[in-house]
Amino acid sequence: MPQQRFPKVEILSIAPHAISFVLSETDTSMANTLRRIMIAEVPTLAVDLVEYSENSSVLNDEYVAHRLGLIPIRYTPEGSMKGGDCHQAFLPHRECVCFDRCPRCCVEFELDVNFDKVNPTRPDQERDLPLTVTSRDLVCRPPMDVGMSLNATYTRQMQISNNILVAPAHFLNEEEQDESHDEGISIVKLGPGQHMKLKAIARMGISKEHAKWCPVAVATYRFWPVITINEEACNMLTLEQKQELVEACPDRILELDEITGNLVAVENAFEMATFTEDLKVAQDAMKKRPEDDDFVHVVQSTDRFVFSVESTGAMDAEDILLSSLRVLKDRLNYLAAEVEKMKD
C-alpha cells in the first residue's frame, strides 16, 4: 500500500535482561506505541491469588500477598534452555473455559516454612537468627487431589509440565546472585515459633491491570542526535577556540581530530548526547555577529531512535520486544476486522 513505511532495526547489544537497539525510518508514533506496549500490554505471569493456611509472621496476610504478587515469574518452554513468552502456554483467566482454575490458566505455588522445623538444620552461626523466607521457597507443584471438582479425570490428565516449567526469577544475572546475601527475593523474615504456609496462584495478565505484570523495569527511547559541523565556519576558529568548544559540551560529543585539527563528532555521540545548550551558548559567545551560522549544529532526529529495554527477569528482553510487536499486530488485526464490520 502506498503510505507504508519500511523501518530498519539495528541491534546495539543484547544481554538476557537488557536489549539496546536503533529503530530508524519510522515515525515517533511507532516508537512511542512500541514503548507503551512494552510497558503496559505485554502479558506475563504473576501471583494473583493467595490462600493462607498459616501466617504467624510479623507481616499480615495482605502485605505478604502484595509482596508475592510483585515477584517476577518466569516461564521456560519445554525443551528450551532460555525463558520464553508465556502467552502461548497460558490463557488469561477471564478467557479460560474452566470452572475455577486449571493448568491452562493458572500455576500453583506452595510455600511452607516453619522456623522451628528449619532452625535445627541451619549452620551454627546462623541458628536462632531470623530466617528469611525467599522466592526459593515458592515451589511449584502439579495440581493434586483436585478430584473434588467435577471434571476430576480431566484435571488429572491435564497435569501438564506447565507447572514444572514455571519458576520465580530469583536473580537477574549471576553477578547479582553472587553479591546477594539471600538465596532469592526475600518475602518475609520469621522468628522462633513463626510459621508461614500458603498456596499462591499465578495468572497471566497485563500491566494495565496491575503493575506486577509489567515485564520491564525500563523501556525508553532517545532521539538520535544529528550533528552537522560547518567546515567553513570552523576554519575561521583558532585551535584554542576549537578546544573550548570541545570542552563546552558536558557530554563530550565533539573531539579534535589529531591530524587535521578539525572538529569532528565522537563515534559514540548518539550514546552521549543529552544536553547541548552549553555548546550553543559557547558558540554564541564566539560568533562575530549573532546571526552568523553555527559552527556545530546539533538537533534531534525525527526518525531515528535509540531504544533501551531492561527486563525484570520475567522474560528475556528480546522476547519482550517480539511480544510487543505481536501484541501490536494482533491489536491492529482486531481493529481492522471491527472497521470492516462497521462498514456494513
Partner 1 sequence: MNTPERSSAFILDDDEEKIEYAADTKVSNAGTFTFNKEDHTVGNLLRMQLLRDPAVKFAGYMHPHPLVHKIHLKIQTSTSQVAPAETLSAAIEDLSNETDHLITQVTDAIDKWKKENTDMMGM
Binding mask 64-103 for partner 1 (x = CB under 8 A): ------------------------------x---------
Residue with Cβ nearer partner 1 (206 or 256): 206
Taking residues 148 to 187 in sequence order and writing x for each that binds partner 1 by CB under 8 A, - otherwise, the string is ----------------------------------------
Residues within window 22-41 making contact with partner 1, judged by CB under 8 A: 26-30, 32-33, 36-37, 40-41
Q: How near is the Cβ of 138 to partner 1 at its closest, in Å? A: 24
Q: How many helices and strands in the chain, by DSSP H and E?
A: 10, 14
| Residue matched to cell numbers 527475593 | 185
- Identify residues 205-264 at the interface with partner 1 (CB under 8 A): 206, 208-210
Name, in order, each residue with C-beta under 8 angstroms of 34's C-beta and a sequence gap of 6 or more.
23, 307, 321, 324, 325, 328
Q: Where are the alpha helices (DSSP H) in the chain?
A: 28-40, 61-69, 115-118, 152-157, 174-179, 231-235, 239-248, 269-272, 277-286, 317-343
**Least separation in angstroms between CB 259 and partner 1:** 30
Could you say whether residue 281 binds partner 1 (CB under 8 A)? no
Residues 50, 341 contacting (CB under 8 angstroms): no
In sequence order, what are the residues at sequence separation of 6 or more whose Cβ sits closer than 8 angstroms to the Cβ of residue 28?
302, 303, 305
Sign of the dihedral defined by the CA atoms of residues 323, 329, 332, 337, in that order: negative
Residue 13 or residue 161: which is nearer to partner 1 going by CB? 13
Asked if residues 215 and 320 have their Cβ atoms less than 8 Å apart, the reply is yes
Site mask, partner 1, residues 288-327, x = CB under 8 A? ------------------------------x--xx--xx-
- Of 296 and 321, the one with the shorter C-beta distance to partner 1 is 321
Q: Is 29 helix (H, G, I), strand (E, B) or coil?
A: helix
| Selection from 199, 50, 49 nearest residue 112 by Cα | 199
* Pick 118 or 332: Cβ nearer partner 1: 332
CA distances to 308, 321, 328 from 11, in Å: 10, 12, 20
Nearest distance, CB of residue 256 and partner 1, angstroms: 32
Cell numbers given for 87: 502467552
Q: How far is the CB of 337 from partner 1 (least distance, A)?
A: 9
**Least distance to partner 1 from the beta carbon of 342, Å?**
5
Taking the complex as a whole, how short is the minimal distance between the CB of residue 304 and partner 1, in angstroms?
Answer: 14
Of the listed pieces 10-18, 49-57, 184-192, 219-227, which binds partner 1 according to CB under 8 A?
Answer: 10-18
By the rule CB under 8 A, 49 interacts with partner 1: no
Select the span of 74-82, 285-293, 296-304, 329-337 touching partner 1 (CB under 8 A).
329-337
Q: Name which of 259 and 342 has its Cβ closer to partner 1.
A: 342
For residues 35 and 220, the answer to whether their CB atoms sit within 8 Å is yes
Which residues on adjacent β-strands are paired with residue 218?
310
Closest contact distance (angstroms) between CB of 39 and partner 1 is: 10
Rounded Cα–Cα distance for residues 119 and 128 (Å) = 7
Contacting partner 1 (CB under 8 A), which of 14, 160, 201, 256?
14
Q: Tell me which H or E stretch contains 296.
A: strand 296-311
> Which residue, 32 or 235, is less far from partner 1 as judged by CB?
32
At how many degrees (to 10) do helices 317-343 and 28-40 cross?
110
328 binds partner 1 (CB under 8 A): yes
288 φ, ψ (degrees, to nearest 5): -75, -40
- Kindly list the residues in this chain that would bind partner 1 in the complex (CB under 8 A): 1, 3-11, 14, 21, 26-30, 32-33, 36-37, 40-41, 94, 206, 208-210, 318, 321-322, 325-326, 328-329, 331-336, 338-340, 342-343
